[in-house]
A = this chain, B = another copy of it.
């Protein structure tokens, strides 16, 4: 996804094209992955030191509203932003070792269907951070009761 496409998309939806917005979209498209607002600002400053914090936050909010980027809180005290990718994906985040596993968006298909069928609710299930414990960090599977019984 090139940033000019996103700019055109913005324009078509009635929003104005400003140099700030172009720089922000450019940085988000180039730096692939999850970027914090701070990182986005730092990267823009290399070329244009005057970029303003409020403009960046407001643009990110606009892009999120239009589903062009996904804001995500991985629990590190700063929200990250990533270009909206297709197909969707999510992240499993280990609450202990912080390892992240990427999973396909399809894992939410059953939930999505259930919510639509039972509650007529159209859930936004684009890009989740799901916390939990990875394989390595789970307590050793409870000593098999069968083992204890055998010993006794």
A145 at the interface (CB under 8 A from B): no
B residues near A92, Cβ cutoff 8 Å: 115, 119, 121, 123
Q: Give CA–CA (A124, B103) in the complex, Å.
A: 16
Interface residue? A107 (CB, 8 A) = yes
Q: Does A8 contact B (CB under 8 A)?
A: no
With A111-B108, A111-B111, A114-B107 as contacts: A121 and B95 at CB distance below 8 Å: no
- B103/A107 in contact, CB under 8 A: no
Whole-angstrom CA separation of A95 from B133 in the bound complex = 30
CA distance A92 to B118 in the complex (A): 12
- Report the minimum CB–CB distance from A69 to chain B (whole Å): 16
In the complex, are the beta carbons of A131 and B124 less than 8 A apart? yes
Residue A138 lies at the interface, judged by CB distance under 8 Å to chain B: yes
Q: How far is the CA of A94 from the CA of B124 in the complex (A)?
A: 10
Which A residues have a C-beta under 8 Å from some C-beta of B? 73, 92, 94-95, 101, 103, 107-108, 110-111, 114-115, 119-125, 130-135, 138
Q: Identify 16 new A-B residue pairs, CB closer than 8 A, beyond the known A92-B123, A122-B138.
A: A73-B73, A92-B115, A92-B121, A101-B119, A107-B111, A107-B114, A108-B111, A110-B114, A115-B132, A120-B134, A121-B132, A121-B135, A122-B133, A123-B130, A123-B131, A124-B130
**7 A–B contacts, CB within 8 A, in A order:** A101-B119, A101-B121, A110-B111, A120-B135, A122-B132, A122-B138, A123-B132
